[in-house]
A and B are shown apart, each in its own frame.
Chain A
Amino acid sequence: MVPFSGRTNGRGFSRTSGGRGINFVVAATLFLCGGALTLSELEPAAVEPAREAMARMLTPIAVAGAGVADTLAGPLRSAWAWAGGVGGPGSVSADEDKRRSVLAARVADLERENSDLKALTGYVRSAKSALIAGRIVMRSSSPLSHTVVIDAGSASGVHEGLPVVAGGGLIGRVVQAYEDQASVMLLTDRLSRVPVAIGQGMARAVLVGAGEHPPRLEFVTPGAEIKAGDLVTTSGIGGVFPRGLSVGIVADGSGGPEVRLTAGEDDPLAAGVLLVDGPAYEAIATVSTRTQRILGQAMPQAKPGEGAK
């Protein structure tokens, strides 16, 4: 039995007519891949329909696979936690509990503050607004792109361009909405561009994703004074992101100012997200002094208090 021996006669690219046929197939495949890559880089819109069609087909399968993998990994996580692995899933779970309690405190704080402000201003709801809850069900692993898939789709009102908030700050925006899922481009993706405002002087800049490295600040308002620890929020310029969403704080980088994101990428896979549609973002963007204190204790990597002047 000689399975898979084909017509190569065991010599890879042989000089027989069969070998020439194989050479042609290999060359054609490589050429097609190279062509697709070139087109994808030079004219992304040209390959978008093909990508979208494939994504619609593959994403639900991959999400189901991620669910199965998550279920299978459950006993392993429990065993790891039971064994008390340092930095293992046990500690992630503890972090998650802490984060949940922090978020619960923050929500209560915001609800109280919001109702106080509504009472003070005689607020009458005039615009349609919505907060859509979701959960990250899949993360991409490609070093060239940073995206996640969430389990809320167009059936829940999700549409392209919606800002996505998690862990106290903006994490990205929806780039593709399917019926029950949506792809979210993270702020660290190299294609991500977010207009931001910095510090009390409200200098303007564009937050540019840099892959594995923290996002950079580019096109900073000339003459603006930016220093490490300044708070970075969305400026609302361009209309894609609403104004005032918390993004992170300025940090010194080797190639210029960087931004340490409020919502780190190391959030657990099951991190909850909120999609912000309409003026409701103001409620999320408002971070009271008390919340800052709580966040400062729970998430020292973000240090929101540093930016307070």
Chain B
Amino acid sequence: MTPRRERSSLAGWTNAAGAALWPPVVAGLLLSAALVPSDTTIPSLTLVPALAFYRWAKHAPAALVCPLAALGGGTLDVLAHGPLGFWALVYAAAAALGASGRAMSGSGALVNLALFALHIAALCGLMAGLTALCTVAVPDGRAIAGELVLAVAAYPVIVLLMGGSSAPSVRSGQ
């Protein structure tokens, strides 16, 4: 085996290991979001799985991740006794945004960062809009900002847990 083929094989195994980690990581984040209670001092963790689905959709077919994200969100809706479809829609939208940003994944870091910021803003806008519709009241900006800060802070950890930038098998297909 030539050194180049060896490297390619190793990268393949790393990719496979990273990909195998994604479902348990996403499931763990969903469970944490469902079980860690939020109160006035601790923001809710419910936006964190959205970013996990966002990240996942950058590397896996949207046709797989989007329905899975909806299922995960639906689970959270049921466990929390909230409006059925709320988190399902937010998580599915996050997966769709992640998949839509895939075409730009080869661009520079600055472009990727700007795109991420844009997607996060869109996700927060969707969440605030849905909250306003469901509660017929102006959503609590502080609570949403708290969730956002927590989710963005957790994003590097999610990236690390999900295989960092070594996993994007899609890139190798480009």
Contact = CB atoms under 8 A, between A and B. Distances in A.
A40 B88 CA distance: 12
A21 B67 CA distance: 13
Interface residues of A, number: 60
Contact of B169 (A3, A12, A54): A3
B121 interface: no
A6 B37 contact: no
Nearest to B89: A33
Nearest to A138: B35
A6 B95 CA distance: 16
Interface in A1-53: 1-13, 21-22, 25-26, 29-30, 32-41, 47, 50-51
B82 A145 contact: yes
B173 A144 contact: no
B78 A6 contact: no
Contacts of A39: 84-85
B60 A140 contact: no
Contact of A6 (B36, B61, B80, B87): B61
B71 to A, nearest CB: 9
* Most chain A beta carbons < 10 A, residue from B15, B37, B102, B131: B37
A39 B79 CA distance: 18
A9 B16 CA distance: 18
A104 interface: no
Interface in B37-96: 37-40, 44-46, 59-64, 66-67, 69-70, 73-89, 92-93, 95-96
Contacts of B95: 26
A25 B62 contact: yes
B61 A4 contact: yes
Contacts of B174: 9-11
Given A34-B89, A140-B79, A142-B82, A5 B172 contact: yes
A5 B75 CA distance: 27
If over half of A's interface residues share one DSSP class (helix, strand or loop), that class is named, otherwise mixed; here it is: mixed
A108 interface: no
Contacts of B133: 41
Contacts of B130: 37
Contacts of B81: 140, 142, 145, 147, 175-176, 183, 185, 189
Contacts of A4: 19, 59-61, 64, 169-170
Given A40-B84, A190-B135, A265 B39 contact: yes
Contacts of A29: 66-67, 69-70, 92
A2 B73 CA distance: 28
Interface string A120-139: 00000000000000000011
Given A30-B89, A69-B31, 7 more contacts: A4-B60, A33-B85, A39-B85, A54-B74, A141-B38, A145-B82, A183-B81
24 contacts: A1-B13, A4-B60, A4-B169, A8-B61, A12-B100, A30-B92, A30-B96, A33-B88, A34-B85, A37-B130, A40-B84, A40-B86, A41-B133, A51-B78, A54-B74, A138-B79, A140-B81, A142-B44, A143-B38, A144-B83, A175-B81, A176-B81, A211-B140, A265-B39
Interface of B: 9, 12-13, 15-16, 19, 31, 33-40, 44-46, 59-64, 66-67, 69-70, 73-89, 92-93, 95-96, 99-103, 105, 130-131, 133-135, 140, 143, 147, 169-174
Please name the 4 residue pairs, one residue from A and one from B, whose CB atoms are nearest each other, closest first: A37-B85, A1-B12, A36-B85, A6-B61
